[in-house]
Homo-oligomer: A and B are copies of this chain.
């Protein structure tokens, strides 16, 4: 429809900013990226975004009035009501950065802000694998492990914005590895891409049998999470043991979250989730083993569907619902 307004979705990352114009139903109309310039304490990031939006509108010959509102996902803890980002170490911004007001000035429409992992969770709820669910957990298995918790259709922030820190659930109570957060045995140390590679190497060091994964490590000097899943799917025992260890830790953590608030869906995304249905099946196996039965029967585990677009979809949801 000619008269329909657009939402502006902005997903700020450490290397690039993803931008999109979306319909009010959350469908992407135009999508593009600009580099994130973190020089000078990230002082040009917001002006760059403002320019990019205005230039894109001009290029499309669309008036600024077409824009209704904007949403922003950014990497770090935020206070949605104050419109402030407490810390943004990856972007160089000073503490307590007034992100909402500065962005509002730059793009000329009302802005709502959210942590990037939470924005991705909202995106999956609105337009992806979580569609239709009002209670949902999203977990992102990448270099680290991130999460977002949605209850009754909205993000849970908690007392100090530390809700959704699923990666810092203690998965190994005794003798776990140190995590970057300063604590030992975090889920992130065993369920991230980094974690699973470390687990495989540990198993390999003691493994006496033959293994394609072992050969790969000897040949390339290193292995990746993808190598492990590929080998596991061809039946490599050592790789299978590694995947089982990951799925066991993850299944337990998710089952315990499940018994606490029985979400309709748990959405698994991030690079590691590219292992797809093979990984999903393993996680489900351990999830059902550890979950309170009514939870195992009613909480569904699914793969994320939006990939890198989850953040801009969630930012657009914020634009539509938080302004």
Contact = CB atoms under 8 A, between A and B. Distances in A.
A159 interface: yes
Contact of A181 (B154, B183, B292): B292
A123 interface: no
Interface of A: 77, 135, 147, 149, 151-152, 154, 156-166, 168-170, 173, 181-183, 186, 248, 252-253, 255-257, 259-264, 290-295, 297-299
B257 A168 contact: no
Contact of A260 (B149, B181, B182, B264): B149
Nearest to A248: B173
B294 A262 contact: no
A269 to B, nearest CB: 17
B162 A298 contact: yes
Nearest to A169: B256
Given A149-B260, A158-B264, 12 more contacts: A135-B158, A151-B152, A158-B262, A160-B262, A160-B294, A161-B262, A165-B259, A168-B295, A169-B256, A170-B256, A173-B248, A186-B292
A159 B135 contact: yes
A54 B299 CA distance: 43
Given A163-B260, A290-B170, A294-B160, A152 B149 contact: no
A176 B156 CA distance: 32
Contacts of A298: 158-160, 162
Contact of A165 (B158, B159, B253, B295): B295
A159 B299 contact: yes
B260 A164 contact: yes
A279 B261 CA distance: 26
A261 B149 contact: yes
A262 B163 contact: yes
Contacts of A181: 292-293
A255 B77 CA distance: 19
A152 B261 CA distance: 14
A173 to B, nearest CB: 6
Contacts of A293: 181-183
Given A156-B151, A159-B135, A165 B260 contact: yes
19 contacts: A135-B156, A147-B260, A156-B261, A157-B262, A158-B295, A159-B299, A160-B297, A160-B298, A162-B259, A166-B260, A168-B292, A168-B295, A169-B259, A170-B291, A183-B291, A186-B292, A253-B256, A260-B260, A261-B261
A292 B292 CA distance: 25
A149 to B, nearest CB: 5
B260 A292 contact: no
A265 to B, nearest CB: 8
Nearest to A182: B293
Nearest to A299: B159
A152 B183 CA distance: 28
Which one of A253, A257, A262 has the highest number of Cβ atoms from chain B below 10 Å of its Cβ? A262
A230 to B, nearest CB: 28
